[in-house]
Structure 1
Amino acid sequence: MAKTRKSIKEQAHAHRGQIPKGARKEEIIRAAAKLFSQKSYHDVTMDDIAEKVGVAKGTIYLYFDSKENLYLEIMEETYEEIESILERETAKSDPAPLKLKKVLGLIFKFYLQNLDVLRILSRDETHLIREHYEFTEHWRLRRIKLYEKILEKGINEGSFRPSNTELTALIIFGLVRSVMFFYKSEKSAESIAEDVFSMISEGILAPGYEKAEAARM
């Protein structure tokens, strides 16, 4: 039987028993996310996190048995939240172009509202991929499959031209991440999504360019 992927929470639960719930744990997660957004993973210590929360370091270990598990739980909660939002959106009956535009808007809105996590990703993604490849690959593939599903719907309904959906999904994935990490703008999430959607749907050639070029040859 194939092994199923255990979440970070499940792994931690198996290792140390029942995870305490409540406000204190969420306070630790928020404080740690703030610190990880300000400094690299390796520069943040459990002492720093305890000081930020205002508790003894031993209290942190009642909830998380290592800095690594705390870091990964922050990321897993984030990924699970945004992917659940996107999957609810794609389950609706909208035409594929509208569905894709809405998904792009939700992604940019989510990360603009969660800048600490965006800063963590932009600074420490290499660490995540190198040290936790299976973890990051799971979430990367989940997002790419979501894009592929929208593309396939569009092809089937005639709103998107036939294409290599795997390659196109990878291009969209890379484009969205580059905009998230490197595009500095005062525009709203909806406006950024509109620009990105326009680039995906229309490309960079001016209308009529190909016909004009053919006429000159």
Structure 2
Amino acid sequence: MNKNEILEQALYYLSTNGVKFTMSQLATSLQISKKTIYTMFDSKETLLLEVIENSFREIKRSEKQIIESDLKLEEKIKKLIIVLPDRYQNLNWYKVGELKEKYPKIYEVLIYHLQSDWKPTLDLLQQGIKEGVLKDFNVDVFKLIVEGTMEHILSNHQQIDYYQELEEMMNILMKGILK
């Protein structure tokens, strides 16, 4: 059993059961002992933190692929802002948002990642403005709108499709800023 398999299964449990899943449930589903999990992760909190960190490493890899792709600038911007690796698109992100109550420090890390390292995206937005693909607009306000939407979706108490909501947000924003 490797660490990545445990992280993937833990993310699945986080998405389906929220923070209420137990290390025993995780171990049983992986057909390993809890002791095996605890040799790699000191606690459930450590495991959940690594799940979030690993997820954002994968998101950053996906961002890099988008930036380096041959897509039109407009498509790069759309994809970059709502980037999620394919296997994350069907996760229940509201359940992930439950971290806020039980594991507030981990939730802070999640929000930190949502709010940080916008430079590649902001650079593409500035490039779009410069090249005339986008209207001149305040990219900082745009960033705040996107962050606010993502945070709202995470804390929303409805069962909604996170990725679908982000796509809709991007449709609204892009139609408002495209010439």
TM-score, normalised on structure 1?
0.62
Aligned-pair identity in percent equals 24
State the alpha-carbon separation in 2 of the partners of residues 99 and 167 from structure 1.
Answer: 19
The reply to whether residue 74 of structure 1 matches residue 51 of structure 2 is yes
Match of 2:126 in 1: 152
State the alpha-carbon separation in 2 of the partners of residues 50 and 110 from structure 1.
Answer: 21
Q: CA RMSD in A?
A: 3.4
State the alpha-carbon separation in 1 of the partners of residues 43 and 128 from structure 2.
Answer: 45
Change over 3 Å in CA distance of 1:150–1:54 after alignment to 2: same
State the alpha-carbon separation in 2 of the partners of residues 154 and 136 from structure 1.
Answer: 28
* Structure 2 counterpart of 1:201, from 162, 170, 174: 174
- Letter in structure 2 aligned against 1:132: I
Name which structure has the greater RCO, CA cutoff 8 Å, separation 6+: 2
Change over 3 Å in CA distance of 1:84–1:199 after alignment to 2: same
Once the two structures are superposed, residues 117-165 of structure 1 have per-residue CA deviations (whole angstroms, 9 ceiling, x without a partner) of: x35424335555x313663354123353343222111111122222221
Match of 1:30 in 2: 8
Matches within 5 A, 1:1-217: 23-41=1-19, 43-92=20-69, 94-103=71-80, 106-107=83-84, 109=86, 111-113=88-90, 115=91, 118=93, 120-125=95-100, 127=102, 130-132=104-106, 135-142=109-116, 144-175=118-149, 184=160, 193=167, 195-203=168-176
Give unpaired runs (5+ residues) of structure 1: 1-22, 204-217
Once the two structures are superposed, residues 88-131 of structure 1 have per-residue CA deviations (whole angstroms, 9 ceiling, x without a partner) of: 31244655322213335743855325x26x35424335555x31
State the alpha-carbon separation in 1 of the partners of residues 44 and 118 from structure 2.
Answer: 29
TM-score, normalised on structure 2?
0.72
Say which one has the larger Rg. Answer: 1
- Letter in structure 1 aligned against 2:15: S
- Letter in structure 1 aligned against 2:139: T
- Contact 1:144-1:173 at 8 Å conserved across structures: no
Give the paired residue count.
173
